[in-house]
Structures are given as structure tokens and as C-alpha cells.
Amino acid sequence: MSGHEVDLDGGERAVFRPSGALRGSLTPPADKSISHRAAIIGAIADGPTRVTNFLDSDDTRSTLSAVAGLGAMVNPEPLNAMPEEFTIEGVGPSGPRSLGRIDVGNAGTLMRLLPGWLAGCDGGLWRMNGDASIRKRPVDRIAIPLREMGAEIEVTDGRFPPLRIDGRQLTGITYELPVASAQVKSFFLLAGLRAEGPTTVVEPVATRDHTEVMLAAAGADIAREPGRVTINPGAGLRLDEVEVPADISSAAFFLVAASIVPGSEVVIERCGVNPTRTGIIDILRRMGADIELEPQAGAEGEPIARITVRWAPLKGTRIEGAEIPLAIDELPVIALAACFAEGETVIADAEELKAKESDRIAVVVGALAGFGANIEARDDGMRIVGTGGLKGGQVDSHGDHRIAMLGAVAGIAGEEGVTVDGMDAAAVSYPTFQQDLARLIG
């Protein structure tokens, strides 16, 4: 393979060497956020929901397994391969089956969203747990406000999974999010479906709105205005059909790779470009990236586009405030782009990075510093002085899929290559990442 080689050791270690230009087209895996929500809201709804292009990944399989255990019927069941299309028969007004234990695996979205639904299902009892990474991710931000609504929920050491949920009749409240989080907002909206009275969430800045879009499509009584969303109980949900677009968070690695490897031109097909998710495009364009969008016909409520990205020299920028929630999952690979830019880049107001699959401030700064970057950690983000490139080295993914893929892109774009330990973590969101990368540089 010209200029590039991937060596695998038991699926866990991969070596990425400097490559030539990336050229070609690809369709990244389906959107993980929308896939999770299609499974959960489809399970809550009354009647069948037809789902196409659902993401086949460890996390989304955990969500399908969980909703099936709660009484939703998935047909055909995803066994070895995910069907291109399947139907979820929701439990409707009867509510979920009381299930002893729910294993979320590494799915943080499932751990944060599902309790919102279950906590309001009077009479049920559930215990939720996950892998070692999940058990280090705090859930007090959902437990504390759920208790304000009347929920019975117990967590470990006051903050962490595993957790126990005793279903109760909830009361709607107005809650101001102390930190912008689409997952926390979403669990409130799911809790509000069965609460007495309206439930209102006030956001400090806008976050991704896939839950609102899908609930509205299903017939929920939901009202939106800038910085505030209110849901009223009582409306029966019927979702009918969901087409899941390609995930811009997965596409982000190729947006950056093509922007920093000279001579590259990559076309990304049928990618979701919901305005609450396109922060990475806005930021890269501000840094000087050459990115074009061509709208494509797609799912109702979720805009889809063909994205073309070509190499261009980048310059540093400042990323903060309202921009952070619109690019929270892409900040690690944006930090990589900043290493190849000229000048200073500052990422601020991004404390949320500490509560991801790893502490992404510490891990990203450690990884990029190890590759030769001029970078320093800050309490709420990081500062990078770009020098137009990186050397290389070795990085442990810490079981974090986005760190694994960041290491791969750094390896092909840098001077000396990168060895990634724990590359198999990429399967959480992008099982075919290495094959797609190799095809573009083959």
C-alpha cells in the first residue's frame, strides 16, 4: 500500500505511517446520536417504527439490546450483521418491562438517556451498569435533577454507576442546565413524557437537538424557543420511520485529515449537517479549510449534504462559549488540526471534555505533546501553538474511540508515524474506520 501500512496485533495495536494525499469518496457510518435516539424513542412509541441505516457499533447494539430487554420487539434482530432496515415495535402506554439489570457496555448516551424514561414508569425496578470506562463517568448530573422531579434513583459513591432506578410518578419542573449538555437535556425531555405537568429545560447555550426533532416527529407536545424547550405529557407517540444519516462526528476525522495532508481531496456522502452539529465545519472554515456543502434529499427534520474537503493551509483560532456544544465530540481532532496550523489556537469553556469516555483534556494534551506538539492543558480546555506539523510517537486510546482515530490521523499526517494501542476502541462508533482510511490513501 503506497506510503501507508497498518500492522495489527490481535486487533488492539495499529501502526499508521506517513501517507500521500487522501483521495476518493466515502459514506461514514450512520449517526450514533440519532441511532441511539431512534432505538429509545422507537421503544417508547406505540406501534412500529421502521429504521433504515442504523449504526452497527458496540454502543448502538447495547442500546438495541437494552430496549429489547425492556419489551420492545426488534425485527429482524441484528445478529452477525446489522440489517439495512428493521422495525422496532414500541411498548407504548403499557410501559417498559421491569428488568433486573441493564448492561450499557460503553454507551454513555444510553446511560444518560434511558433513566429519564425509566424513572417515570411507576412500579418498575431497574439496575444499570456498564464497563470500566462507564463506571468512571459521573451520573450525578442526571440523578440530582431526577430526584427534584420525585424520582427514586441511587448511584455509587454519590456520583457514579452502577445505579438503581425505582419507577415513580414524576412531577414536571423547570430546570436550568448548569453546563450545556444535549444528553442531560434529552433525559429531561424523556422524563417529561410521563410527568405531571410541563417539564422545561433552559440551556445556557444551544446544544444538538436530535431528541427534540425526533420527539416532534413522533407527535410529542413539545415547544421550542431560543434557549428553552418545554414538553407536556399525555401525547401518544408514533414515530413511523427514521432514516439515519451519516455521522458528522465520524466524518470529522476525514475533514481534518484531508485539510492537513497536502494534495488531498475527499468527498463525504449523505452526511448529517444538522446546524447544532456543524461546529466543526464552521471552525475549520475559520481556520482556512476548503470545505463545500451540497444539500441532498434526506430524512425529515435532519438535513443531509455531500461534503467536499480539499487541503488548504490552516491558521490558529479561538474556540469558546456557544461554539463548544456544537463541536464537543470533534474538539480532539480539531486540536490535532491546530497542531498543523500556523499560530495559536485556544479551546476554552470545554470542561465537558473531562466527562467523556476518557478525560479528553488530559488525554488529548498528553497524546499530542507526545507527538511533538506545543500544547498545554487548561482547566477548561487547552492552548496549542501550531508549527505546521507533528513528528509522531505512540498513544494509548484509553478505550476512547475518538482518541484511537485521532492517533491514526496524526500518524498519516505527521513525519514519523504513530502507534495506537487500543485501536479496537474505534469500533464503538466506526468499525470500518481503518478500511476507509486505507482506501483513501491506497
Q: Which residues are catalytic?
A: 329
Distance, in Å, from the CA atom of 250 to the CA atom of 396, rounded to the nearest integer, reads 19
Q: Which residue is listed with cell 476525514?
A: 254
As a 3-state breakdown, the chain gives helix, strand, coil percent values, each rounded to 5, of: 35, 30, 35
Residue 26 cell numbers, joined? 466515502
3-state secondary structure of 44: helix
Asked if 141 contacts 183 with a C-beta cutoff of 8 angstroms, the reply is: no
CA–CA separation, 276 and 274 (whole Å): 5
d(CA 183, CA 33): 9
Residues 6 or more apart whose Cβ sits within 8 Å of residue 366: none
| Displacement of CA 275 from its chain's centroid (Å) | 15
A 10 A CB-CB count for 263 gives 11
* Cα separation, 96 vs 198, whole angstroms: 22
Helix (H, G, I), strand (E, B) or coil at 415: coil
Whose CA is closest to 278, among 308, 304, 258, 248? Answer: 248
Strand order in the sheet with 152-156: 101-103, 125-129, 160-166, 152-156
Q: Residue 88, class by beta-carbon neighbours within 10 Å (0-12 exposed, 13-18 middle, 19+ buried)?
A: buried
Residues 6+ apart with CB under 8 A from 158: 140
**Residue 372: which H helix or E strand, with range?**
none
- Return the DSSP state at 83: -
- CA-to-CA dists, residue 327 to 186, 252, 316, angstroms: 17, 10, 16
What kind and span of H or E run contains 106?
A: none
Compute the chain's Rg from CA coordinates. Answer: 21
Residue with cell 429504521: 51
For residue 209, give Cα distances in angstroms to 37, 45, 192, 205, 274.
11, 19, 16, 12, 8
Count of beta carbons in the 10 Å neighbourhood of residue 348: 17
CA angle, corner 359, sides to 205 and 37, nearest 5?
55
